[in-house]
Amino acid sequence: MLDKNGIAKRIAKEVKDGYYVNLGIGIPTLVANFVRNDIEVEFQSENGVLGMGPFPFEGEEDADIINAGKQTITTLPGASFFDSATSFGMIRGQHVDLTILGAMEVAENGDIANWKIPGKMVKGMGGAMDLVASAENIIVAMMHTNKAGQSKLLKKCTLPLTGVGCVKKIVSNMAVLEVRDNAFHLLERAPGVSVEEIKKATEGKLIVEGTVPEMVL
Amino acid sequence: MIKKTVSGVQEALKGVQNGMTFMLGGFGLCGIPENAISELVRLGITDITCISNNAGVDDFGLGLLLQQHQIKKMISSYVGENDEFERQMLSGELEVELTPQGTLAEKCRAAQAGFPAFYTPAGYGTEVADGKETREFNGKMYVLEEAFKADFAFVKAWKGDEAGNLIFKGTARNFNPCMCGAAKITVAEVEELLPAGSLDPNEIHIPGIFVQRIFQGQRYEKRIEQRTVRQKN
């Protein structure tokens, strides 16, 4: 079973040379730590920066330079700043190559819910609805089950949707799955996790073909 | 040169009234019009509708207006940093319209650029699209979203000149340029107000035509919401 860093490490392998990448808040933010340093990648933050760098050293924080999680950041050579409409133009216009975001629930048809729990949590969708509706290449980083052990990979989402039919790939703490033809297709198992365990933790339709390899991290 | 300078925040906010709709720039606490917000608190006007990506924190930014119960309705994309906001929303005191962030930005820009509405894929098939017209283009579904209508836009820039030209800094740019010219009156507050001719016309982000009033802001706090650093090894 993977921890959050393990999920981020596996997702980092999907980041290719020359990609512009949008990272969501939470596990996706960790992906930047594991991207190979022999490839060129630029990270986009929806509040208006391309070419995000690491956090600043103490004393070098600039209140005017933050990421979408409102954390202080730095920029790398080649970086640029822009307004919010331009930022979402990049996203909506499919100029960003890869979007990595978290989810509370994903359904077998690719629906995703990650912004609202009625009566409990109403923080808003931020940029998530624009991202999932627009991006061609979306990877969802998530835990396979909730704290009570119930599956978060469902036949149908129970929470209010963020987008419909948009998720194509999931990296969970248990597996890598492709979402197509109204089913989760098991591609890889996390180290030490059996196909049986993944079946048990997946409420939606799961397709297992042949021998499923263990992830290489 | 058409001069846009006013003496200060009081003159800049002349004409604001109860029940008006305001746009306020900023992302989190980054690039918010601190002076305009303080003056709205001081004036004590109520029943305001605020269009702003976020709602500040409990004791800063738009949180200050929420504390005084001056806001009737918020139109935002993310409001997770403010407990008082959540309390007022759940108790029904505050009306909230959550809007996808890209749609929020585009509803401002549409107002600025004279488009009554536009189609976006964001929110299709979700509760955001309830009651809205949808349409298929090239096999994909889109939602019709209308431009905002607002009485005042309050924006914050880094540098500005007497002609109302603006330059923003870093990610403090965010929604500010999109809101310029998107309301009946745009009020810009700047960290540095310069004589006309001081700014290189090549470097201007927002031309003064989109700004009606500009003033030198005072005492910027520029609070950092999530101070995050790495250690030197």
Give all domains of chain B, ordered by start, each with its CATH number. 9-113+149-216 (3.40.1080.10)
Q: pLDDT truncated to tens, each residue of chain B (233 aa)? A: 999 999 999 999 999 999 999 999 999 999 999 999 999 999 999 999 999 999 999 999 999 999 999 999 999 999 988 888 888 988 889 999 999 999 999 999 999 999 999 999 999 999 999 999 999 999 999 999 999 999 999 999 999 999 999 999 999 999 999 999 999 999 999 999 999 999 999 999 999 999 999 999 999 999 999 999 998 87
User: In which element (H, E) is residue B190 found?
Assistant: strand B185-194
The parts of chain A modelled with pLDDT lower than 70 are none
Q: CA of A69 to nearest chain B CA: how many angstroms apart?
A: 8
Contacts of A162 in chain B (CB under 8 A): 126
Provide the domain limits for residue A98.
Answer: 4-207
Is residue A213 situated within a structural domain? Answer: no
B75 touches B104 (CB < 8 A): yes
Searching chain B, which residue's CA lies closest to the CA of residue A55? B229
Is residue A216 situated within a structural domain? Answer: no
According to DSSP, residue B144 is labeled E
Give the dihedral of Cα atoms A55, A60, A62, A67; nearest 10 deg.
Answer: 0
A144 touches A153 (CB < 8 A): yes
B179 touches B112 (CB < 8 A): yes
User: Does the active-site annotation cover A108?
Assistant: no
Q: Is B225 on the interface with A (CB under 8 A)?
A: yes
Q: Is A25 on the interface with B (CB under 8 A)?
A: no
Is residue A52 situated within a structural domain? Answer: yes
Q: pLDDT tens-digit profile of A132-141?
A: 999 989 999 9
CATH number of the domain encompassing residue A70? 3.40.1080.10
- Bridge pairing between strands B166-167 and B21-24: unpaired
pTM above 0.95, yes or no: yes
Is residue A214 situated within a structural domain? Answer: no
Number of domains in chain A: 1
Select from A132, A85, A89 the least CA-distant residue to A113.
A132
Is residue A173 situated within a structural domain? Answer: yes
* A55/B228 touch (CB, cutoff 8 Å), yes or no: yes
Is residue A217 situated within a structural domain? Answer: no
Catalytic residue among A46, A105, A108, A203: A46
Is residue A74 situated within a structural domain? Answer: yes
* A91/B230 touch (CB, cutoff 8 Å), yes or no: no
Q: Is B139 on the interface with A (CB under 8 A)?
A: no
Q: What pLDDT is stored for residue B91 in this prediction?
A: 87
Is residue A187 situated within a structural domain? Answer: yes
* B122/A133 touch (CB, cutoff 8 Å), yes or no: yes
User: In which element (H, E) is residue A81 found?
Assistant: strand A75-81
Q: What pLDDT is stored for residue A120 in this prediction?
A: 80
